[in-house]
């Protein structure tokens, strides 16, 4: 077990033109069979007038960068006008899917060297997400975007988001809406009642429905909810959650409830004659007791995390943000601590699990030199024996832990040697 960061050194792929007014967001990463790495990230903030190139609504810009030498050198190949995007492979093509209110997508037919014009997949909707995991099964690709299905929340919106599993055949043209099947939708506030959270001790601060509660001046807590959802499957036939029909897929999301180290758990069940077909119905994991498992312990579950499954070790790997002090009263926090006590963002850590419930600490990945120099909202891919990691980061110039000025690339070598 290692107590020093194993991947603190980094390459800055994207850097803000002005750390105080232009901020980085949404690092996403995928690897092609030929070894090429494709990285995505974005810029946003009040200083976007000073950023050249394509901009969505004049307020944000996404970029695509490629590396053919393992991340040592990077080349920007495209810009796109939407947010919260992730790159992924499907068949012979590569896609970047995100949103600008509506879902938007671009495609590459030549291994990421050139990209199509943006295509809008929906009309008049509000979507959200972060670059989280992508699942390949049943000759399909599965991933989650989140739709805002109530419009009466005046605070930050996790309470009204519905994690929506999306499925498409690998050989389809994913820039066409008819290629996608969308699961049924359920918002957090419709699935888990405020009074149940309070009675069970699963929410930290008082709930003020549809608006924020302020535990201290300028530190707000929106109504409880879920967001930034990963997708995974259970492959172990001995696991309680294993579905021998192959039609059950699991979702695990960041839980916003004022605590640290908890996540939200959902299921999606395919209704066709065989896996990968039919409608998809969103629900919750049944327990032997007859109850439903909706809130689950997860290291770093209070912040955006990323999960990958490694076929060689048959283990799930979790990259998440480590809180070290979520119990200091909000009014007593130092000025450089962002918002709520559990919103610490300076430490990236790695865990592994054989079952998605019991987690073993593997390593510290990276630590910023101060609370403002964040290492968070990271994505990762397996690259032979290593983990390649892309982090939303900041240096000494960063405005805050939330509003950083860098997208950084890190390589954690021989990650499987961390198993014990």
- Per-residue pLDDT tens over the stretch 368-381: 999 999 999 999 99
Q: Please write down the HEC assignment for all residues of 25-77.
A: EEEEEEECCCCCEEEEEEEECCCHHHCCCCCECCCEEEEEEEECCCCCCCEEE
Model confidence pLDDT, tens digit, residues 269-304: 999 999 999 999 999 999 999 999 999 999 999 999
How far is it, in rounded angstroms, from Cα 319 to Cα 351?
A: 7
Contact 137, 245 (CB under 8 A): no
Q: What is the b/e burial string over 319-337, where b = at least 16 CB atoms within 10 angstroms of the residue's CB?
A: bbbbbeebeeebeebeeeb
Asked whether the predicted pLDDT for residue 2 surpasses 80, the reply is no
Asked whether the predicted pLDDT for residue 4 surpasses 70, the reply is yes
Domains of the chain, CATH where assigned: 40-366 (2.120.10)
Contact 315, 419 (CB under 8 A): yes
- Mean model confidence pLDDT for the chain: 97
Please give the full DSSP string across 191-215, using - where no structure is assigned: HS-HHHHHHTT---SPP-TTS-EEE
Q: What percent of the chain has pLDDT over 70?
A: 100
pTM of the model: 0.97
């Amino acid at each position: 077990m290692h107590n020093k960061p194993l991947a603190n050194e980094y390459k800055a792929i994207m850097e803000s033109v002005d750390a105080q007014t232009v901020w980085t967001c949404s690092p996403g990463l995928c690897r092609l069979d030929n070894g090429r790495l494709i990285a995505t990230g974005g810029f946003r903030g009040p200083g976007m007038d000073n950023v050249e190139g394509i901009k969505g609504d004049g307020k944000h810009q996404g970029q695509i960068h490629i590396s053919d030498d393992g991340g040592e050198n990077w080349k920007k190949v495209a810009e796109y006008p939407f947010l919260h995007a992730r790159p992924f492979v499907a068949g012979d093509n590569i896609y970047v899917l995100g949103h600008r209110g509506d879902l938007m997508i671009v495609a590459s037919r030549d291994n990421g060297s050139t990209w199509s014009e943006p295509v809008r997949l929906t009309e008049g909707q509000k979507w959200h997400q972060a670059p989280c995991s992508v699942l390949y099964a049943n000759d399909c690709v599965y991933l989650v975007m989140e739709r805002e299905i109530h419009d009466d929340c005046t605070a930050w919106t996790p309470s009204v988001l519905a994690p929506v599993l999306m499925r498409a055949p690998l050989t389809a043209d994913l820039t066409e809406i008819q290629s996608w099947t969308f699961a049924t939708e359920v918002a957090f506030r419709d699935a888990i009642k405020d009074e149940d959270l309070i009675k069970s001790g699963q929410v930290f601060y008082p709930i003020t429905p549809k608006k924020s509660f302020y535990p201290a001046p300028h530190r707000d807590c929106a109504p409880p909810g879920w967001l930034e959802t990963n997708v995974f499957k259970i492959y172990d036939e001995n696991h309680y959650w294993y579905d021998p029909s192959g039609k059950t897929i699991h979702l695990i999301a960041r839980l916003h409830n004022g605590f640290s180290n908890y996540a939200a758990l959902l299921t999606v069940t395919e209704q066709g004659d065989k896996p990968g077909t039919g409608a998809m119905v969103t629900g919750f994991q049944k327990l032997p007791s007859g109850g439903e498992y909706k809130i689950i312990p997860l290291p770093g579950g209070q912040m955006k995390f990323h999960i990958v499954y490694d076929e060689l070790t048959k283990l799930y790997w979790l990259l998440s943000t480590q809180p070290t002090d979520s119990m200091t009263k909000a009014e007593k926090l130092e000025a450089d601590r962002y918002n709520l006590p559990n919103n610490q963002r300076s430490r990236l850590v790695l865990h592994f699990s054989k079952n998605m419930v019991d987690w073993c600490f593997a390593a510290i990945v990276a630590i910023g030199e101060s609370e403002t120099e964040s290492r968070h909202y990271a994505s990762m891919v397996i690259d032979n024996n290593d983990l390649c990691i892309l982090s939303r980061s900041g240096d000494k110039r960063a405005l805050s832990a939330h509003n950083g000025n860098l997208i950084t690339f890190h390589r954690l070598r021989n990650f499987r040697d961390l198993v014990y």
